[in-house]
Amino acid sequence: MIYLDNSSSTFQKPFCVKHSIKKTLNKYAANPGRSGHKLSLLAGEKVLEARMTLANHFGLKDFTNVIFTASCTEALNLALQGSVQPHGHIIATIYEHNSVLRTLEYLKKTYHITYTLVTPNANGIITPDRILSAKQPNTYLVVVNHTSNVTGHTQPIHEIGAVCHEHNLLFLVDTAQSGGHERLNMEKDHISMLAVAGHKGFHSIQCGALLIQDCKIKPLKYGGTGTNSISLTQPTDYPEGLESGTDSIVNIIALATGVKFVERKWNDIHQKITNLTQYTLTHLSKIPNCIVYSTNANSGVISFCIKGYTSTEIASYLNQKHIAVRSGLHCAPKIHEYLGTTKNGLVRVSLSYFTHKTDLMYLIHCLKTLSKKTLLFQKN
């Protein structure tokens, strides 16, 4: 199977990540930080090292503000619900994933917040002036999807962060698609909260993280933290106060290993993703009846449709040709409403460092064949 669904989850994992999982199970699988014996202490040290790895990668000053979660969705929920200001106003974008949109709807019903979804300019970019135009007297938070999982457009986080800093607004960035592809520095980019997905661009397994800078977040979960067990009140310090329950040490160490792999291979990854994305965009645009909705050659995210077929029909056809892609609305309905693709959805091809050019050559060949069938049908 040719795997081209990496925006959902990378399938091919580097050896170092696979090895870290086996090594963790054999050597570090004790409960980190819960006991005084050497295995528990060693496990705690490895989790601490993982926090430092993520903090260094994203330019976060305090590694204790790295909060591990089960997924990027949980990280975004923790950020949004944990920072909620009742009757306040939030600015987000039409690119947001349902992990943001559905949480905003929950906050609207429960805490009576309001929110505004900002649209991009003609180039697919959310500009700082569009953020400012949506600002209201009670606005307290701006949420931006760094790279769209539908169109692949990447937003100017540094410029938006500067505006948020100037106007004393919290700034939450969703890096589910950009992590491992795009550089961000929380301090320099004035990012208050940053959500991470480990199993995508970092080539790890299912794990997430929320990185927090200069703001206080209330917990979503309550329970054991390994500190001050006599108290029935949840700790307020990070990371314990936001990480109730036993840390998933296998996932956490695998995530840190994936981040280190990306750092070692950064230039190679960036160059390969750019070259393969540009190749795919160029050849898709030459296929009759194929409409391409992506233009960013750096993202590895390419969405398209072929007239005469639904996205599901195209994905099913490609599956028969042993090619794995994603079809539908990709859990981001507002950008589909904006593009007018809600009815049939879009086909998404998403690349990784382990994608080969020959994979894409075969994809293009199959799509050309399908397009010819459409043209023949139209003539008849």
What pLDDT does 30 receive? 87
Intrachain domains 2-9+265-373 and 15-264 with the same fold: no
Mean pLDDT of 343-351: 97
**Average model confidence (pLDDT) for the chain?**
94
What's the token pair of residue 83?
């920072």
C-alpha dihedral sign at 147, 153, 159, 163 = negative
pLDDT tens for each residue of 113-124: 999 999 999 999
Alpha-carbon distances, residue 93 vs 31, 71, 229, 259, 301 (angstroms) = 40, 21, 42, 27, 18
Distance CA 256, CA 259 (A): 5
Check whether 317 has a pLDDT greater than 70: yes
Sheet holding 66-69, edge to edge: 66-69, 208-212, 193-197, 170-174, 139-145, 89-93, 114-118
Which pair of tokens denotes residue 168? Answer: 């004393």
Separation between Cα atoms, residue 316 and residue 105, nearest integer Å: 33
Determine which helix (DSSP H) or strand (DSSP E) holds 271, and give its type and residue range.
helix 266-284
Q: What is the pLDDT of residue 52?
A: 98
Domain boundaries, the chain: 2-9+265-373, 15-264
Residue from 83, 50, 84 nearest 67 by CA? 50
Least confident of 19-23, 28-32, 115-119, 342-346: 28-32
Q: pLDDT value at position 380? A: 46
158-205 pLDDT tens trace: 999 999 999 999 999 999 999 999 999 999 999 999 999 999 999 999
Asked whether residue 376 carries a pLDDT value surpassing 70, the answer given is no
Residue 142 or 30, more confident = 142
Q: Is 322 left (phi over 0), alpha (psi -120 to 50) or beta?
A: left
| Band of pLDDT at residue 288, cut at 50, 70 and 90 | very high
The DSSP symbol for 33 reads T
Q: Check if the beta carbon of residue 201 is closer than 8 Å to that of residue 259.
A: no
CATH of domain 15-264: 3.40.640.10
**Banded pLDDT at 353 (limits 50, 70, 90):** very high
Average pLDDT over residues 269-298: 96
Query: Given this model, what pLDDT does residue 227 score?
Result: 67
Answer yes or no: is pLDDT of 377 > 80.
no
What is the radius of gyration, based on Cα positions, of the chain? 22
Q: Is 223 left (phi over 0), alpha (psi -120 to 50) or beta?
A: left
What helix, strand, coil percent values describe the chain, rounded to 5? 40, 15, 45
Rounded CA separation 203/182 (Å): 14
- 176 vs 196: CA distance, rounded Å: 6
Given a cut of 70, whether residue 355 has pLDDT beyond it is yes
Q: Percent of the chain at pLDDT above 70?
A: 97
Q: What is the pLDDT of residues 228-264, one digit of tens each?
A: 667 777 778 889 889 887 889 999 999 999 999 999 9
For domain 2-9+265-373, give the CATH number. Answer: 3.90.1150.10
